[in-house]
């Protein structure tokens, strides 16, 4: 009686081995490091950049220790060794980037500054903590548990959406739409323009004026409210259209909502763990990126404002006022004129994938549009087969410059600017629909980046960084220490109580409790989930719940001992307590899952560890504890049981 089959023991053993192996990486310390990559995403880090970085750091290290007495007295060979040891611990190429490890945070920060001052916009430098996990563990995907912003530090951004630019963009599209409508309906217009975020139309005669006014009034309630405020000047045949407060709210909500979705998609696409992206107020967005120590690197992740505009190439019939000249992205000396009228922008893209042209073998991007975008491009290309369609790549860039501030210190000053280049100018062979391909996108890396940005979504309006804050490691260290202290105190008190009150069974429960914590850590590592401070609270709660399950079992065994022999009491105690434990844990698990799906930030962190803890505590209480009790008491003639 009270024996498990060999298969049950093997199942427990397999689960424990997997849990232990994937929890192991958390025992290895992290090392302050720097990751260096070219700003141009199409360019991979190479041996040339590696040598340049070594030279910069070597010279910086040499300048720092040249007055050291041990260095002065050493021979040339020893000096070189001392400089190199002081410069960095290790430097190597990995995944198109260069990783530099340091022995302390001070050297890491000072090295980052000197590299940035020397290389400016040529590279992007990110600070991070490199785990020292053995290679064999990395090969099976065993990584340490990621820490959230409150524990590991990271960056906090407050961004403001430029509503005026969004409104200007809408007005430009509206202006072009009305120009086409008036042309089709033979309404004669002398001039049309945008001034002070309003549309100005001057008509040739009173009849055209009245027809246009009727058209405006028909369009105004299109959104379920007054869309325009119309200013009439009949004496001069001028009509002025300005967006109403209702329309402005719609534009603002769309721009902020689209940017919010885009930022969420972009941070998820680029692998930032547990990012927090949420709206604040009318036109601001908060972004928190755990584990990212450097605001410059984080800006590269979330501040990329690349977008596309599809425009027809200007021809001999295009008015000089309705065309613009642009350079090609791949060849800045080659230019072309495109019409100012934008057919569609990147926010109409629903799917984008990088691929290769079957005929030329060159990189391309396969594009799918939504219904509205498909109709717009079909209408624009239906009468223009044989003309060339230009794809304009719009990107917000930063320019860095080393300047001297008021204190006489060298600091990097950054300014942003918008760059527009043609990436494709191909002849239309047929009318386009919702699916087509873009050629001339550069290298395969450029194609992948463009596809990623389009897939994540385009920003509906530019954003500016109102506030940026780096959460320092001291806060994270303090939080981790306090959280760990609370777990250890609770853990030790529970172990002491169980050992004194339940004796042998208490020791079994304590071993199960240790196994439970290891399994939680292992599963968190496997899932790639982030541990936050509320997550630690979830672990503390799980410790109590795991012991509660054992208490229910042991109390039931005590009750059964009054009327049964020890072996039957053990068997019935476990089996009859199972239903109670299962019901209690399942209802708690349902609550935890609801918290995860509707909660944000800290609430999600708590829900994740609680959910994982419930599952592991049920396994350890029902399976592991029973297995150990069976090994101690199973198939033996026991006269009395002390519990």
3-state DSSP assignment of residue 554? helix
pLDDT at 289: 78
Q: Which residue's entry shows tokens 């290895």?
A: 28
Least confident of 102-116, 164-178, 185-199, 219-233: 219-233
Provide CB contacts within 8 A for 100, sequence distance 6+. 33, 34, 35, 36, 53, 57, 88, 90, 91, 111
- DSSP bridge pairs for 502: none
Q: Answer whether 465's CB lies under 8 Å from 155's CB.
A: no
pLDDT in tens, 111-167: 988 888 888 878 878 777 777 888 888 888 888 887 776 676 677 888 888 888 778
- Report how far residue 518's alpha carbon sits from residue 432's, in angstroms, rounded to the nearest whole number: 57
pLDDT in tens, 370-417: 888 888 889 888 888 889 988 888 876 767 777 887 777 777 777 777
Mean pLDDT value across residues 19-45: 83
Mean pLDDT value across residues 576-595: 89
Strands (E), 330-386: 335-339, 344-345, 349-356, 363-369
pLDDT in tens, 301-332: 666 666 778 899 998 888 888 899 999 887 77
Provide CB contacts within 8 A for 329, sequence distance 6+. 393, 421, 422, 423, 442
Q: Which residue's entry shows tokens 């950054």?
A: 414
- Report how far residue 489's alpha carbon sits from residue 165's, in angstroms, rounded to the nearest whole number: 56
- Report how far residue 70's alpha carbon sits from residue 198's, in angstroms, rounded to the nearest whole number: 73
pLDDT at 223: 41
Residue 571 phi/psi, 5° resolution?
-60, -50
- Report how far residue 319's alpha carbon sits from residue 509's, in angstroms, rounded to the nearest whole number: 84
- DSSP bridge pairs for 420: 394
- Report how far residue 401's alpha carbon sits from residue 163's, in angstroms, rounded to the nearest whole number: 29
pLDDT at 272: 56
């Amino acid at each position: 009686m009270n024996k498990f089959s060999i298969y049950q023991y093997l199942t427990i053993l397999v689960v424990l081995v997997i849990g232990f192996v994937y929890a192991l990486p958390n025992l290895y310390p992290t090392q302050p490091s720097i990751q260096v990559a070219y700003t141009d995403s199409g360019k991979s880090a190479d041996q040339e950049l590696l040598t340049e970085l070594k030279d910069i750091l070597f010279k910086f290290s040499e300048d720092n220790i040249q007055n050291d007495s041990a260095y002065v007295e050493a021979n040339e060979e020893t000096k070189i060794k001392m400089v190199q040891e002081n410069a960095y611990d290790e430097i190597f190429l990995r995944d198109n980037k260069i990783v530099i490890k340091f022995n302390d945070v001070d050297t890491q920060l000072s090295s980052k500054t000197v590299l940035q001052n020397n290389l400016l916009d040529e590279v992007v430098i990110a600070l991070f903590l490199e785990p020292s996990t053995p290679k064999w563990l990395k090969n099976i995907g065993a990584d340490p548990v990621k820490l959230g912003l409150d524990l590991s530090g990271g960056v906090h951004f407050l961004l403001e959406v430029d509503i005026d630019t969004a409104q200007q963009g809408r007005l430009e599209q509206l202006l072009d739409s009305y120009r086409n409508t008036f042309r089709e309906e033979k309404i004669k217009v002398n001039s049309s323009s945008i001034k002070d975020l309003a549309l100005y139309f001057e008509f040739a005669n009173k009849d055209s004026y009245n027809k246009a006014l009727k058209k405006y009034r028909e369009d105004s309630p299109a959104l379920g409210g007054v869309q325009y405020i119309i200013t009439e000047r009949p004496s001069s045949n001028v009509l002025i259209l300005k967006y109403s407060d209702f329309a402005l709210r719609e534009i603002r909500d769309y721009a902020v909502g689209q940017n919010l979705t885009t930022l969420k998609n972009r941070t998820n696409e680029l692998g930032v763990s547990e990012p927090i992206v949420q709206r604040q107020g009318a036109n601001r967005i908060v972004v928190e990126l755990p584990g990212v120590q450097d605001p410059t690197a984080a800006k590269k992740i979330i501040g990329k404002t690349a977008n596309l505009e599809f425009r027809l190439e200007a021809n001999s019939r295009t008015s000089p006022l309705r065309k613009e000249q642009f350079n090609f992205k791949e060849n800045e000396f080659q230019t072309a004129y495109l019409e100012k009228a934008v057919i569609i922008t990147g926010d109409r893209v629903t799917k984008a994938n990088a691929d290769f042209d079957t005929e030329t073998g060159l990189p391309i991007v396969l594009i799918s549009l939504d219904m509205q975008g498909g109709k717009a491009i079909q209408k624009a290309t239906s009468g223009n087969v044989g003309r060339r369609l230009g794809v304009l790549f719009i990107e917000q860039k930063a320019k860095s410059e080393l300047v001297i501030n008021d204190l006489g210190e060298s600091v990097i000053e950054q300014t942003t600017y918008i760059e527009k280049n043609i990436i494709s100018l191909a002849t239309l062979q047929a009318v386009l629909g919702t699916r087509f391909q873009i050629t001339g996108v550069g290298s395969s890396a450029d194609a992948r980046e463009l596809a990623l940005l389009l897939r994540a979504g385009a920003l509906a309006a530019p954003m500016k960084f109102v506030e940026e804050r780096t959460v320092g490691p001291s806060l994270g260290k303090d939080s981790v220490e306090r959280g760990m202290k609370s777990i250890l105190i609770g853990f030790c008190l529970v172990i002491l109580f169980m050992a004194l009150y339940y004796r042998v069974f208490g020791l079994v429960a304590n071993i199960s409790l240790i196994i439970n914590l290891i399994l939680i850590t292992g599963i968190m590592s496997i899932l790639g989930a982030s541990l936050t401070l509320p997550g630690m609270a979830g672990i503390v709660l799980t410790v109590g719940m795991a012991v509660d399950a054992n208490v229910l079992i042991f109390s039931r065994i005590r009750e059964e001992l009054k009327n049964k022999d020890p072996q039957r009491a053990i068997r019935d105690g476990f089996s009859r307590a199972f239903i109670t434990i299962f019901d209690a844990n399942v209802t708690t698990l349902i609550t935890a899952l609801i918290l995860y799906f509707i909660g944000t930030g800290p609430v999600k962190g708590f829900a994740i560890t609680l959910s994982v803890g419930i599952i592991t505590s049920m396994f350890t209480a029902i399976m592991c504890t029973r297995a150990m009790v069976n090994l101690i008491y199973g198939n033996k003639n026991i006269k009395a049981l002390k519990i």
